[in-house]
C-alpha cells in the first residue's frame, strides 16, 4: 500500500510528530511505501536544522532526514506555513524541500491512504 502522511504538529509540543515518524517506519518495515510526508501548520518545525535537543533526548529532525535518505521518502514543507514560522530553504536539513499545498493535494490523490497526525 502507498501512504501519504500529513504532519500538523511541531516536533516537541505533542506526540503527533513522533507518532507520524513511527508510523512511517513501521509501514516501510511492513513492506508498504511512504510516497510523501507533508509538513503543515506547526508541523513545519520538524524541518528546522537549527533544532538542537539535549543529548539524552530524541532528535526528531534528524530522524526524518535519515528516513528520507534511507527510503527515498519525499519530505515536503508547506511554503506559506514555513515562512510564517521563519523556515526557509537555508534552514532545511537534508531530505526536506519547500513547496506549496499542491504537493499535499497530489499526494492525497496518488496515495492509497492519506494519514494525518495532529490537529
pLDDT digit string, tens, across residues 12-68: 888 999 999 999 999 999 999 999 999 999 999 999 999 888 888 899 999 999 999
Q: How far apart are CA 111 and CA 106, in angstroms?
A: 8
Residues assigned a catalytic role: 78
Q: How far apart are CA 87 and CA 109, in angstroms?
A: 27
Q: How far apart are CA 106 and CA 4, in angstroms?
A: 10
User: Helices 60-71 and 16-29: crossing angle, nearest 10°?
Assistant: 20
pLDDT digit string, tens, across residues 54-103: 888 899 999 999 999 999 999 999 999 999 999 999 999 999 999 999 99
Q: How far apart are CA 39 and CA 46, in angstroms?
A: 8
Cell of 80: 506559506
Domains and CATH numbers, the chain: 2-117 (3.40.1260.10)
- Considering the entire predicted model, what is its pTM? 0.96
Cell of 117: 497526525
Amino acid at each position: 500500500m502507498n501512504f501519504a502522511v500529513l504532519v500538523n504538529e511541531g516536533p516537541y509540543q505533542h506526540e503527533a510528530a513522533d507518532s507520524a515518524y513511527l508510523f512511517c517506519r513501521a509501514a516501510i518495515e511492513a513492506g508498504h511505501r511512504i510516497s510523501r510526508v507533508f509538513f503543515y501548520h506547526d508541523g513545519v518545525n520538524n524541518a528546522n536544522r537549527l533544532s538542537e535537543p539535549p543529548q539524552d533526548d530524541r532528535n526528531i529532525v534528524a530522524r526524518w532526514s535519515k528516513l528520507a535518505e534511507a527510503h527515498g521518502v519525499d519530505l515536503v514543507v508547506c511554503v506559506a506555513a514555513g515562512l510564517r514560522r521563519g523556515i526557509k530553504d537555508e534552514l532545511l536539513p537534508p531530505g526536506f524541500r519547500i513547496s506549496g499545498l499542491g504537493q499535499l493535494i497530489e499526494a492525497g490523490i496518488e496515495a492509497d491512504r492519506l494519514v494525518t497526525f495532529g490537529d
